[in-house]
Amino acid sequence: MVEVRLENLVKRFGKVTAVDHINLTIKDGEFIVLLGPSGCGKTTTLRLISGLERPDKGRVYFGDRDVTYLPPRERNISMVFQSYAVWPHMTVYDNIAFPMKIKKMPDDEIKKKVEWAAELLRIEELLDRYPHQLSGGQKQRVAVARAIVVEPDVLLMDEPLSNLDALLRVLMRSELKKLQRKLKVTTIYVTHDQVEAMVMADRIAVMNEGKLMQVGTPEEVYAKPANVFVAGFIGSPRMNFFEARVEGGVLEASGFKIEIPENAPFYSRNFGDVLVGIRPEDIHVLDRGLPPGVVPAILEGVVDFIEPLGSDTILHLKLGDTTLLVKIPGAYKAEIGSRIKVALNLAKMHFFDKKSEKALL
Amino acid sequence: MRQREALKMILIYFAATLISSWILVPLLLIIVSAFAVPQDYYNIEKPFPTQFTLDNVNTLLFVLGAWRSILNSILVAAMTIVLSFLLGLPAGYSLARYVFRGKDSFKLFIIGLRMFPMLVLAIPLVVIYLRLGLADTLLGVALAHTAMALPFVVLITSSIFAGIPVDFEEAGQVFGLTRAESFLKITMPLALPGLSAAAIFVFIMSWNEVFIASVLTLVNRTLPADILVSALAAPDPLKFAAGFIMVLPAMLFVLMARKYLVQVWGITIR
């Protein structure tokens, strides 16, 4: 259990900068998720922390210890690989026991620890089997068991759930989170699945093109995205973006105009030309009534398309040239082409600089 | 429809029988003749011998001293395996694991080595060997065989290693092994079936090689070179006995390594 600090980490592969000046401190016992689209450098960052890859620049600290150039085995880490990497020529027992055998722990202690981990992950009856006799989910449990028996300072997980089917994935993500709470081990978890990140993380580090876009709790990252990328990446369906001019108490977009009321958080701000973002769930259809705390700006649009998802209905609403997605809880009936009144919640509206794409509010 | 299926099956079986007979009938003739009593063998009225003996093999091995050349052949093959794996395994591993400039051309170049006819190389090789004092030594033959086997070893081992995910090795490193240990304790055991098939393949190649072995040796002959010179002057049953001994290891190899060979080539295709 240790704090992990990344200082100005840079890793290049040929001309591609996979990790671009990353600074990040992961607190002792924290569960942090590196989240980003494929190729954003999150796995490379994890490999730099593991020691499987060496940085071109920058430092990695575990507590006060500079581990930048230490080989993986001297870092007291463990890792769950995306492919599980459960060794096929060893039984489940030997797989879990192997890290301890290398450390020359006494046999009876090894046995005790293997049994402890097997019980924790409910794989006791699999100990004599070989990996090819296991399902994906079972292999995954073996990989996790192997990772926790060594009592690592840092636990690294590289998309451990991505090869499981959807149902098992949902089950395992809560189990892994509970396990981590119990063991209180500093955990760095890589995923491209924003739901997984939201559910599991103490803090999320969103990455794109090798750079850190934002670090924060799931709530922060969701409610106060630092830039257009984070705003668009987190949340489903994606946040609506449209260009507008905000000046003199008026928000004017292509196709509609909003008089900014005094209780809007950005009242009296003159942003000029900006990119406006609003989440589909922050637009409400008027005939359903408004939840408390909403600062409404009422607009009328034309229904362009309807996606009934069962739990929600996604409405594609045309306001002039702008199409906004509206997320309505439950089922919702509307004719395509009909006019509907909606309220944009100005309290949840986001503003981004058009050039730097950074949040202005 | 059903008739067509049946016809198809008959045709397939016919073709299979034809092809296997093409290989098996001569083999059968060799084996039968090797153990036939000479009177039966030379008897025109007996198309198939009925009495069998170990005399032919015995004469070949102990009277004509073929056991010595068998020993030589085994030694040369063993040296060839050791040398070609010592050189080829690391090359195969790097080809499988690392990306480097000119990798594809390097692979092509390795295959290209096989295009050199041994006939062209033989005379210069003898000259060089005479200077180095390698002529008529088993090591000399083994070196030449290594040169022949190396391209195979590099390409086969590289496809074997490529078939073993690098994650296994990296997991080993994470859980306490050095790179070398990880290779030895994780990757090698997984590669072993394929590698042993490749080793036997090299053995057969060296065992069967006649030309270089005949040119480079005079006294210390390997089995094929020895047979070429001495047994050819001997009566037919002895020739067949020699042929039988020559073919035996290859047959055993195919029987044992069939499973692994498919795996090796399967990986290559993938």
Band of the pLDDT at B268, cuts 50, 70, 90? very low
User: Over chain B, what is the mean pLDDT?
Assistant: 86
The predicted model gives B123-146 an average pLDDT of 91
> CA-to-CA distance for B168 and B170, rounded, in angstroms?
6
> What's the rounded Cα separation, in Å, for the pair B242 and B63?
13
> CB-based contact (8 Å) between B262 and chain A?
no
**Chain A neighbours among B 53-82 (CB < 8 Å)?**
none
How far away is chain B from the Cα of A78, in angstroms, using its nearest Cα? Answer: 6
C-alpha dihedral sign at A332, A337, A338, A340: positive
Q: Does A87 touch chain B (CB under 8 A)?
A: yes
Q: What is the mean pLDDT of residues A277-289?
A: 94
Q: What is the pLDDT of residue B229?
A: 80
Whole-structure pTM over 0.80, yes or no?
Answer: yes
Residue A92, helix vs strand vs coil:
helix
Is the pLDDT score of A357 beyond 90? Answer: yes
Confirm or reject contact between B176 and chain A (CB < 8 A).
yes
Could A85 and B168 be called an inter-chain contact, meaning their C-beta atoms sit closer than 8 Å?
yes
Angle between helix axes B103-113 and B66-97 (nearest 10 degrees) is 160
CB contact under 8 A, B167 and A98: no
For A90-149, the pLDDT digits (tens) are 999 999 999 999 999 999 999 999 999 999 888 999 999 999 999 999 999 999 999 999
Tokens of A120: 């924790």
- Tell me the per-residue pLDDT of A45-59, one tens digit each, with 9 for 90 and over: 999 999 999 999 999
Q: Report chain A's mean pLDDT, rounded to a whole number.
A: 93
Nearest-angstrom CA–CA distance, B76 and B222 = 8
Instruction: Pick the closest to residue A221 from A208, A235, A241 (CA basis).
Output: A235
Where is average pLDDT lowest: A63-72, A207-216, A346-355, B119-128? B119-128
Contact criterion met (CB below 8 Å) for B214 and B228: yes
CB proximity B42 to A under 8 Å: no
- The bridge status of strand A186-191 relative to strand A154-158 is parallel
A148 touching B (Cβ < 8 Å): no
**What per-residue confidence (pLDDT) applies to B42?**
82
Which of B174, B182, B183, B186 is the best substitution to test chain A (most A C-beta atoms within 10 A)? B174
* pLDDT at A273 (0 to 100): 94
Q: Which long-range contacts (CB under 8 A, 24 or more apart) does B256-265 make?
A: B256/B200, B257/B196, B257/B197, B257/B200, B257/B201, B260/B193, B260/B194, B260/B196, B260/B197, B261/B197, B261/B201, B263/B193, B263/B194, B263/B197, B264/B156, B264/B159, B264/B160, B264/B194, B264/B197, B264/B198
Give the pair of three-digit tokens for residue A126.
Answer: 């699999």
Contacts of A79 in chain B (CB under 8 A): 171, 174
Mean pLDDT to the nearest integer, A218-244: 95
Spatial strand order in the sheet of A283-285: A283-285, A339-345, A296-308, A312-319, A322-329
> How far is Cα A60 from Cα A45, in angstroms, rounded to an integer?
10
Q: Residue A348 and residue A276: Cα distance in Å, rounded?
A: 11
- In B179-208, the residues whose Cβ lies within 8 Å of chain A are 179, 186, 189-190
At what angle are helices A136-149 and A92-102 packed, to 10 degrees?
A: 20
> For residue A216, what is the enclosing H or E element?
strand A211-216
Can you read off the two tokens belonging to residue B185? 């304790």
Whether residues A102 and B178 touch (CB distance < 8 A) is answered with: no
Q: With an 8 Å Cβ cutoff, are B176 and A88 in contact? A: no
ipTM of the complex: 0.85
Q: Does residue A78 belong to the interface with chain B, where contact is any CB pair within 8 Å?
A: yes
- Kindly tell me if the per-residue pLDDT of B68 is higher than 50: yes
Q: SS3 of A313, please? A: strand
Q: Write out the H or E segment, with its range, that includes residue B164.
A: none
Percent of chain B's residues with pLDDT above 90: 36
